[in-house]
Amino acid sequence: MKKIISLFVGTVLALTFSGCNSFLDINVDPNAPSQPALDLLLPATQVSIGVNIGGGATNRIATIIMQHATQNTPSRFDLNGSTFQTPWNALYSEALNDLEIIIREGTARTQWSYVGMAKLEKAYLYSVLVDLWGDVPFSEASKGDGNLSPKFDKGADIYAALFPLIDEAVADLNKQPYVSPGNADLFYRGDRLSWIRMANSLKLKLLNQIRLVPAEKDRVKRDIDALIDGGQLILANSQDFTFKFGTTETPQNRHPIHISEYRSTKDFWMDQGFMERLFNADDPRLRYYVYRQTNNAGVSFTRTSNGYGGRYTGDPTGAPADNAVRATFGIYPYGGLYDNNPINNLTAANVFLTNSGASSPANHRVVTTADGSGAGIFPILTASMVNFILAESALTLGTKGDPKQYLQNAVTLNLNSINSFVQAPGNTGNLISAATIAGFVDTRLKQFDAAAGTAGKLGVVMTEKYIALFGNGIESYNDYRRTGFPTLMAPISPLNPFPLRFTYSQRELNTNTNAPAQNNFVTPVFWDL
Three-state SS for 231-293 is CCCCCCHHHCEEEECCCCECCECCCHHHHHHCCCCCCCEEEHHHHHHHHHCCCCCHHHHEECC
Please, which contacts does 174-181 make with residues 24 or more away whose CB atoms are closer than 8 Å? 175/110, 175/112, 178/112, 178/113, 179/111, 179/112, 179/113, 180/113, 181/38, 181/39, 181/42, 181/113, 181/114, 181/117
Q: How confident is the model at residue 4 (pLDDT cuts 50, 70, 90)?
A: very low
**pLDDT higher for 344 or 285?**
285
Q: How confident is the model at residue 466 (pLDDT cuts 50, 70, 90)?
A: very high
Does pLDDT of 14 surpass 80? Answer: no
Domain boundaries, the chain: 2-190+500-511
Does pLDDT of 267 surpass 50? Answer: yes
- Peptide bond preceding 251 in cis form (omega within 30 of 0): yes
- Work out the average pLDDT over 158-182: 97
pLDDT value for 328: 97
Does pLDDT of 24 surpass 80? Answer: no
pLDDT value for 250: 86
- Identify whether the C-beta of residue 118 lies closer than 8 Å to the C-beta of residue 45: yes
Does pLDDT of 17 surpass 60? Answer: no
Taking only the tens place, the pLDDT of each residue in 419-455 is 999 999 889 999 999 999 999 999 999 999 999 999 9
pTM: 0.93
Does pLDDT of 15 surpass 50? Answer: no
Q: Which amino acid is at 74?
A: P
Residue 380, classed as helix, strand or coil, is strand
Q: Tell which phi-psi region holds residue 524, choosing left (phi > 0), alpha (psi between -120 and 50) or beta.
A: beta
- Identify whether the C-beta of residue 324 lies closer than 8 Å to the C-beta of residue 291: no
What is the residue-averaged pLDDT of the chain?
Answer: 92
Max CA separation in the chain (angstroms): 75
Does pLDDT of 407 surpass 70? Answer: yes
d(CA 165, CA 142): 16
Nearby residues of 209 by Cβ (< 8 Å), 6 or more positions away:
127, 131, 159, 478, 482, 527
Element (H, E) at 378: strand 377-381
- Identify whether the C-beta of residue 308 lies closer than 8 Å to the C-beta of residue 291: no
Nearby residues of 64 by Cβ (< 8 Å), 6 or more positions away:
70, 71, 74, 75, 268, 271, 313, 473
Does pLDDT of 347 surpass 90? Answer: no
pLDDT value for 298: 76
pLDDT value for 301: 60
Taking only the tens place, the pLDDT of each residue in 105-143 is 999 999 999 999 999 999 999 999 999 999 999 999 988
Q: How confident is the model at residue 28 (pLDDT cuts 50, 70, 90)?
A: very low
Cβ neighbours of 17 (radius 10 Å)? 13
Give burial (CB, 10 Å; 0-12/13-18/19+) of 422.
middle
pLDDT value for 497: 97
pLDDT value for 305: 75
Class of domain 2-190+500-511: mainly alpha
Please, which contacts does 464-469 make with residues 24 or more away whose CB atoms are closer than 8 Å? 464/388, 464/407, 464/410, 464/411, 465/385, 465/388, 465/392, 465/410, 466/66, 467/277, 467/278, 467/283, 467/285, 468/384, 468/385, 468/388, 468/410, 468/411, 468/414, 469/379, 469/385
Element (H, E) at 152: strand 152-153
- Work out the average pLDDT over 355-359: 92
d(CA 89, CA 512): 12
Does pLDDT of 22 surpass 70? Answer: no
pLDDT value for 220: 98
pLDDT value for 108: 97
Q: What percent of the chain has pLDDT over 90?
A: 85
Taking only the tens place, the pLDDT of each residue in 200-221 is 999 999 999 999 999 999 999 9
pLDDT value for 320: 83
- Identify whether the C-beta of residue 11 lies closer than 8 Å to the C-beta of residue 251: yes
Nearby residues of 410 by Cβ (< 8 Å), 6 or more positions away:
384, 385, 387, 388, 391, 461, 464, 465, 468
Q: What percent of the chain has pLDDT over 70?
A: 93
- Identify whether the C-beta of residue 393 lies closer than 8 Å to the C-beta of residue 385: no
Q: Which amino acid is at 330?
A: G
Taking only the tens place, the pLDDT of each residue in 288-319 is 999 999 988 877 666 667 889 999 999 999 88
- Peptide bond preceding 333 in cis form (omega within 30 of 0): yes
pLDDT value for 2: 37
Element (H, E) at 62: helix 57-65
- Identify whether the C-beta of residue 189 lies closer than 8 Å to the C-beta of residue 169: no
Looking at residue 136, what DSSP letter applies?
A: E
Q: Which amino acid is at 48?
A: S
d(CA 61, CA 65): 6
Rounded to 5 degrees, φ, ψ at 77 are 65, 40
DSSP labels for 279-340?
Answer: HHTT-TTHHHHEE-SSSS--GGG-SSSSS---B-TT--SPPPS-TTTS-EEBSTTTS-B---
Instruction: Name the least confident of 30-34, 48-52, 272-276.
Output: 30-34
- Work out the average pLDDT over 75-100: 95
